[in-house]
Amino acid sequence: MSFFPIYNIIDISNNGDFMNKEYLKNNIKNINNIVLFDEIDSTNTYLKLNPSNNDTLVIANKQTSGRGRLGRTFISNKDNGLYMSLLVRPNISLDNINTITCMVAVAIKKSLDELNINTSIKWVNDIYINNKKLAGILVESSIKNNTLEYLVIGIGINLYGNIIDENIKNIATTIEQETNVKVNKEDLVVRIVNKIYEYLNDFDNSNFMDIYISSSFVIGKYVDLNMHGNKYKVCIKGITKKGELIIINNDIEQIVSSGEITRMIVYEE
């Protein structure tokens, strides 16, 4: 006989109807607290301001100030997407912190694979489908005395309807727009969160980096890469097990741990 923790679903929303709480409660295996909001500025910001001692999952139906990497906005319209953040306190070394984003990307990709939704990963934190961005990941960490205190893992996935925002409609998409499938939001949450814990619970032995590397569509391509405010046209030779890019820049091989491959400007060799 197995016992699960007692779940403490705190519904801060007015009605919370955007999520089937029973389903979450019965199927998420490792979380004590699940907090739901009809609307919030940002689920990541909420957890950073309220870093509970227990692992906590926060899901919102709308974000008014959804945040992406590099100070960008993540558009989080009501009812259209999955906007969630997970606070975890894993016992992992700071050296491995950069691979957390890769691990989460693989958890999302594998969950979508199980629903026959075929995606690929764009270094470092984007999930793509048919050459458009479907999802993004924002991992934020709190470090004290050279030790990881907690991580806030933020995930935004465009699920339903069509992207109509003029600024992003050519570069972003939703699952429904690409596949005509309206995925079940709770089911997707459960798959992703449970996979994140599978990887976290056996972090040093898990094979997520192999999957990350084989799912990355930029390897072997020429791309525009923004590094420290400068733009370079480079060839992506590979990705290391630490999640760094191996690039060829002016015939010189370099390892790059931060930067951004600018949107889909991929030159075929």
- Which spans of this chain sit near ligand BTN (rule: CB under 6 A)? 42-44, 63, 66-69, 72, 74, 76, 83-85, 125, 136-138, 154-156
What's the min distance (Å) between Cβ of 248 and ligand BTN? 26
Q: How many CB atoms lie within 10 A of CB 51?
A: 14
What's the min distance (Å) between Cβ of 155 and ligand BTN? 6
How far apart CA 244 and CA 257 sit, in angstroms, is 5
Shorter beta-carbon distance to ligand BTN: residue 80 or 177: 80
What's the min distance (Å) between Cβ of 152 and ligand BTN? 8
How many residues are listed for the chain in this entry? Answer: 269
Shorter beta-carbon distance to ligand BTN: residue 69 or 235: 69
What's the min distance (Å) between Cβ of 42 and ligand BTN? 3
Element (H, E) at 260: strand 260-267
Three-point CA angle 170, 239, 140, nearest 5°: 70
Cα-flanking dihedrals φ and ψ of residue 193, to 5°? Answer: -65, -45
Residue written as tokens 């606070």? 87
Give the residue closest to ligand BTN by C-beta: 136
Are 153 and 85 contacting, i.e. CB atoms less than 8 angstroms apart? yes
Q: Calculate Rg over the CA atoms of the chain.
A: 18
Shorter beta-carbon distance to ligand BTN: residue 26 or 258: 258
Shorter beta-carbon distance to ligand BTN: residue 74 or 123: 74
What's the min distance (Å) between Cβ of 40 and ligand BTN? 9
Shorter beta-carbon distance to ligand BTN: residue 16 or 68: 68
